[in-house]
Structure formats: C-alpha cells, structure tokens
Copies of this chain bind each other. A is one copy, B any other.
C-alpha cells in the first residue's frame, strides 16, 4: 500500500515540495514546481494503507493518532502542499471516486430532523466554554470576522462583523429581532446594546444557552434579550428582523426550503433578514468526511446555486448578496494562533489527541478558504422590495455612524 500512496502523491503533488519519511525507512520527495514546502514522517504502515484507500478521512485520523508527524514544520504547512495542488486541479482516481460518492450522498448525510440537529450541535458546541474562551475573541464570536482594512485584531474584526450585519438589518430602537443560532450571545447582546432592539436568540447547545443567559443578566440586558433552547422550526413570529450567523451550515440541503419558509413566516411584511453562512464558489460538493466525522456532523457548506432555489420559492426576495472572500482564512489564522498560545492549557483540559484534532481542523479550514474557493456569503432578504434602500451605500454610512456614536459616548 505504500506503493499506492506513493503513486497518489506523485500524481497529486507537482507544485511545491512534500518530503515523506515512510515507515520502512525509505524517503521520497514529491513536486518540483514553485509552491509551499513541507516534510512529514509516516510512522505506521497501517496508516499508510488507510490513507491510500481513503485519503480524505484517513489523513486527518493518522495525524490525530500520531502516525503522521510534521518534520520541521506544522500540519498547516503539510496540508498547504496538498491543498494547493488539489485546488490547482491535481487529483487521482481514488480522490475523484470519494468526491463523487460524497456529493451524491450529501442529502442523506444532511438529513437533520430536530433530534439529530440537537445531537449535532452538542457534539461541537458543548465541548466546554473554557476551550472557546481560549480560542476566540473576548465576545466569543465563533464565525467569520470582517476585516475591511485587512489588519484588524481579532476583536476589532469581530466587532466590525457585528456592525456590518447590524447595518444590513436596518435597525431602529424597539424592533423585534430573532437570532437563529445565537451562540454564546455576543451578537444579540451587541445589537441590543448598540441599537436598542429586543432580541430573541435560539440555540441547540445547552452550554451556549447557559453562558448567553448569564451574560445577558450580568450586562443588565435580560429584559431586552431572551435566549431559548429551541429548534428554528418551532419559532413563532412575528419579528421585524431575522438574523442567522454561521448556523445555516448545520441546516442541511434537504431542509433549505423549511429554513427560508420559517424566516418568511416569522417576518412582518416590512421585515428584513440577514443570513450569514459559509459557502463554496465552485458548485456542490460533499463535506470533507473527516470534518463531518470529527467536527461538524450533518454540516455542509453550500454553493449559492443550492441555496437560491429555496429562497426564490419561499416568497422572500434576495435584496443583496455579499461574498466575503479570505476573511475566514484570516479569522482561522488568528484562532490557530490563539490555540497555539494556549495549547498547554487545552491539552491539560482535554488530551493530546484532541489538540491534534483541533489543529487539523483549524489548519484544514483555513486552507479551504485560502486556496479552495470556500467563502462566506451574506444574503439579505425581504418580503417586499421597498423596505431596503435603493443603493447599498446605507451600509457603510450606518457603520461609520455607529462607530462615531460609540466612540463619542
């Protein structure tokens, strides 16, 4: 099987250089064109076999098991060589087969009734707030930040993201806002604090719920912001605004119509909604099987061509679609830096295998955004077309206004 793995690597890696030390002591180097550079040691012949047969799943598992060890570099560098070549169109029949099978089966993998949706959420979001406190910005925004200048700190970029979303929601004091997937409450509390709106935030994670409620109480915003453990399908409106950030990835292709119909049902006729989600630029494909198994069961990053049919049939009008490129690559880079700085504390709370898993996850996702056309889309929606200004300039105007208001106070 070492021979098959060698064949795959020879086929895939042409850009950059990947040096490999095989379990039997032999060494090989792949690639000669300009590109990133890395070296790894493969310590277990069984891992070599598994990788050759199912690289998308087994490579990450081998790293978690310590069977793959980067030499003089880290897992990001190793993945960079592989991802750069795959993004440039290099492939091997083994990879092509898995990709086609995964795409074909993605609807099955994303069947997310309420009970499974809850288990899926718990899998990742109930890992313990302590972990996320070490990983994220102080407001615990676990989604793509927004870097309009490009050199913002993580905290600045997350605040810019919240204000970018607020601007698109056309907020006024007293409006009723529904947040589908409220995380640890940071966005809901920011909207309430900066715009005087009343927010109902829902989540399927009990740990997020407890933290969000405690934060609302501590800020004295508990009468303005309400958090509930609830599935989006059971929400009753009316709301003037609906916002959903980084939750749509957990909805599943089969449930998109249900999702947008729920948004429409909950909105007043003059209502406006904003959905923020990861997406892929090059059409439908399956979720990476390692990511689906270890990090986001039931999760999916859709192509816009998969989302729009559901929007168009929901009775909602898409009034703006922003495509945020590279912002998530930068966000993940900063999370990865936080993780590295706190690795000892995290390893003490969890274990070494968990740390390897998390590093693989952060590095792989960063590269998907940097090299493979993954992006974040913002879709603004309305029931009637007249309730959003004619030109998009109001977004930047509102951002400037809130920044100067808060700065002045």
Taking Cβ atoms with an 8 Å cutoff, the residues of A that contact B are 146-148, 150, 281-283, 303-305, 308-309, 311-313, 315, 317-327, 373, 375, 385-386, 388, 390-393, 395-396
Contact A308 B304 (CB under 8 A): yes
A–B pairs, 11, beta carbons within 8 Å = A148-B390, A281-B318, A283-B313, A303-B308, A305-B305, A305-B308, A305-B311, A305-B312, A319-B323, A320-B321, A325-B388
Pick the contact of A148: B304, B324, B326, B393 (CB < 8 A). Answer: B393
CA distance A312 to B373 in the complex (A): 10
Q: What chain B residues lie within 8 Å of A388 (beta carbons)?
A: 325
Q: What chain B residues lie within 8 Å of A304 (beta carbons)?
A: 304, 308, 312, 318
- Nearest CB in chain B: distance from A269 CB, A: 12
Contact B303 A283 (CB under 8 A): no
Given contacts A317-B281, A385-B375, A393-B396, contact A312 B323 (CB under 8 A): no
For this chain, the copies found in one complex come to: 2
- By beta carbon, the residue of chain B nearest A380 is B323
Contact B373 A317 (CB under 8 A): yes
Q: What chain B residues lie within 8 Å of A309 (beta carbons)?
A: 283, 305
- By beta carbon, the residue of chain B nearest A387 is B325
- Nearest CB in chain B: distance from A320 CB, A: 6
Pick the contact of A390: B150, B303, B393 (CB < 8 A). Answer: B150
Given contacts A283-B312, A312-B283, contact A326 B393 (CB under 8 A): no
Contact B323 A321 (CB under 8 A): yes
The winner among A146, A388, A391, A396 for most chain B CB atoms within 10 A is A391
Q: What chain B residues lie within 8 Å of A282 (beta carbons)?
A: 312-313, 315, 317
Given contacts A308-B303, A308-B304, A373-B385, contact A325 B283 (CB under 8 A): no
Q: What chain B residues lie within 8 Å of A373 (beta carbons)?
A: 317, 385
Q: What chain B residues lie within 8 Å of A308 (beta carbons)?
A: 303-305, 308
- By beta carbon, the residue of chain B nearest A310 is B305
CA distance A327 to B313 in the complex (A): 23
- By beta carbon, the residue of chain B nearest A316 is B281
- Nearest CB in chain B: distance from A170 CB, A: 14
Q: A317-B375, A326-B386, A373-B385 are in contact. List 10 more A-B contacts (CB 8 A).
A: A147-B390, A148-B393, A281-B312, A283-B312, A305-B305, A305-B311, A317-B325, A325-B386, A327-B390, A392-B392
- Nearest CB in chain B: distance from A317 CB, A: 5
- Nearest CB in chain B: distance from A255 CB, A: 17
- By beta carbon, the residue of chain B nearest A327 is B390
Q: What chain B residues lie within 8 Å of A147 (beta carbons)?
A: 390-391
- Nearest CB in chain B: distance from A24 CB, A: 40
Q: What chain B residues lie within 8 Å of A283 (beta carbons)?
A: 309, 312-313
- Nearest CB in chain B: distance from A212 CB, A: 29
CA distance A282 to B313 in the complex (A): 6
CA distance A137 to B126 in the complex (A): 61
Contact B385 A326 (CB under 8 A): yes
Pick the contact of A321: B150, B321, B325, B393 (CB < 8 A). Answer: B321
Q: What chain B residues lie within 8 Å of A375 (beta carbons)?
A: 317, 385
- Nearest CB in chain B: distance from A186 CB, A: 21
